Structure 1
Amino acid sequence: PALSAHSSHCGIYALLNAWIFGLETCKLLGFLVYCSLYGSLLTVTALGVQRYVVVVNQRRCAQVQKSHLLVPLWFGALILSIPALVTEQVETKEQWTYCYPQFSSRAQGLAVLLSETTSGFVSFFVVAYSYIRLHRRIRQATFFNNPQTTRLLTSIIVSNFVLWSPLHTINVLALGAICFKKDSLLMSCVNIWDIVKAIAFLNNCINPLLYAFNFHKLCRVCISQEESAYPSPTLEISTVAETMIIN
């Protein structure tokens, strides 16, 4: 959330006024935007997999320091954000300067959009599968018949889908425009990218809030039932909110 907030100031100013910060700042801003988006995407995906492994398969993850988990995650986000340093360009049209992605060739556009779209769809299906299996598992446990948990897990999947769908939809349309050489459709996608990226930005902040509001209720239920028939899942479930709040 902090990275999203700090990288949004120049973008908001550029939407209201012309871009005045130069090419280097344009590329850096694009890199930070994608780094924030991919960081959030990979974090939610990794936590979904971790919850699935711990609760559904009843395996305890190795006690690894949080920094050791975050370093490869953010390294992956940095790698996936590198194309923004290449595609973000500054252009002046009708006395108005813009900072937006421009592809030097159709092959470059296809490669960039395919990587974005593929990573997005893979992340959503992994998160949905992990939390659906998690929900089924805890519903089978007599100690955890809590509608608050159902709403929490449902809100994670729904918010992830709703807030990322516009960006993935525009990316798919842009892919079609490049494949079928529809330049007008491609420019329409480029013009709306800032809006759909802003919507996806909301997902960077909403998941920690969801867990924060449900943290105490989840922990009270788990602690009161720690001697039940399923001790391992109980103890691990109580760490869900604690883990996500650091995101």
Structure 2
Amino acid sequence: MTPENTNSTVRPETSSEISFIIGTFILVMVFLLGVPGNLFIIWSILARARKRSVTTLLILNLACADGTIMCLTVFFFTYLAKQCWVFGRVMCKLLFYLCNTNMYASIMLITLMSLHRLVAVLWPHRVHALARRRNVLAILIGMWLLVFTLALPALIFREERLNKKQRLLCDHNHNSTSYVVLQFMTETSVGFLIPYGIILSSYMCILRRLRQSKFKRRVHSEKLILAIVVTFAVFWLPYHIINIVQVAAACTSEKSNLKETLDKIWQSCRPVTSALAFISSSANPVLYTFAGRSYIRADGFAFMARLFEGIASDSNGRKAEQVGREKMALGLKTSPNSTSAYVKT
């Protein structure tokens, strides 16, 4: 996630000061919640979970990406609090590059989760072929290479510069309007609109199939992934709206009053919307805790590992459900035990 353009050359003073204060407060709270939360997820999966599924592996990658960016929030709330960049040119480029990397990685991992659930529901007999270690690793490596490539504009355009108050900023240095349009529309389209189109299409197909199914199982992973998807959208949508506003401002004539209005909007709102985007990385541990609350009394600190084991068993349950359907379609009998395997949660 990227706290883009947290300072500006021209801005309404009062609204900007409030925006900086709110943004700093949000980032401090995100740091206190997100760092231990994501570290706990990583520990639960690596040290305590006995069974791991593709979804669990994707959650592990998401927690690693979120945990890394949460550890870096100390730099960003210092930047917002001081309204001055004090960490040097190299860190200016590197930190915002990692932020962009996290943004793309988060949405792509969520998209992969949704596509995996789509395959599990529509073509359960193909899940195990896709879940082979070699295939999963190839997909993840390809995804990370794409993510690191898409985040390159942060390395290219981020520079230190002085504003009118002689404060040193880590800001974009776009030489033309086309660069503004290219960067921010790429972020919004590739980092939000296209993936969400895929995600929503996947869930429409999933819900349609579940409604047609005679064996309606309550699956942990469907509800949990849906919660992750909704949470990501809620906290990232304001950021991408501001991206569009900034692009519109860049494309508007310098002499237009509309340009001045649009500039004031994105410059004053950018710190808060960027800070809100950070919340999505700290919200996932809360979602997992809520989803795994039934395990807390029995398993203590291992409750999240049991939740992920339950997710791992969902794919097996779907396979059993598919086998049951095929047997019934062929007129074969199923034993009571085999029936209960896919009727129960």
TM-score (norm: length of structure 1): 0.79
Match of 1:6 in 2: 71
Matched, 1:40 2:72: no
Contact kept, 8 Å, 1:39 with 1:77, in 2: the verdict is: yes
- TM superposition shift of 1:34: 0.4
Match of 1:90 in 2: 160
Please, which moves more after superposition, 21-30 or 206-215? 206-215
Counterpart Cα distance in 1 of 2:117 and 2:317: 21
Matches within 5 A, 1:159-238: 159-181=231-253, 182=259, 185-186=262-263, 188-207=265-284, 210-211=287-288, 213-214=291-292, 215=307, 227-228=320-321, 230=323
Counterpart Cα distance in 1 of 2:310 and 2:282: 21
Contact kept, 8 Å, 1:128 with 1:157, in 2: the verdict is: no
Contact kept, 8 Å, 1:166 with 1:196, in 2: the verdict is: yes
Match of 2:117 in 1: 51
Match of 2:15 in 1: none
Please, which moves more after superposition, 146-155 or 122-131? 146-155
Greater RCO structure (CA 8 Å; 6+ sep): 2
Q: Identify which of 116, 126, 133 aligns with 2:187.
A: 116
Residue segments in structure 2 that go unaligned for 5+ positions in a row: 1-65, 254-258, 293-306, 326-341
Match of 2:80 in 1: 15
Q: Deviations over 1:178-218 (max 9, x none)?
A: 11132552364245334322222232343465356353666
Matched, 1:75 2:108: no
What residue identity is the alignment partner of 2:241? T
Q: 3-state DSSP class of the match of 2:175?
A: coil
Contact kept, 8 Å, 2:113 with 2:225, in 1: the verdict is: no
Change (3 A) 1:71 1:136: same
Please, which moves more after superposition, 144-153 or 54-63? 144-153
Higher Rg of the two aligned structures: 2
Matched, 1:64 2:125: no
Change (3 A) 1:221 1:124: closer
Matched, 1:102 2:173: yes
What residue identity is the alignment partner of 1:203? S
Counterpart Cα distance in 1 of 2:225 and 2:97: 31
What residue identity is the alignment partner of 1:28? L
Q: Identity, % of aligned pairs? A: 23
Counterpart Cα distance in 2 of 1:226 and 1:102: 53
Counterpart Cα distance in 1 of 2:152 and 2:114: 25
Change (3 A) 1:98 1:78: same
Counterpart Cα distance in 2 of 1:129 and 1:208: 26
Change (3 A) 1:228 1:82: closer
Contact kept, 8 Å, 2:219 with 2:314, in 1: the verdict is: no
Q: 3-state DSSP class of the match of 1:91?
A: strand
Contact kept, 8 Å, 1:37 with 1:201, in 2: the verdict is: no
Contact kept, 8 Å, 2:101 with 2:148, in 1: the verdict is: yes
Change (3 A) 1:23 1:222: closer
Change (3 A) 1:150 1:224: closer
Aligned residues: 233
TM-score (norm: length of structure 2): 0.59
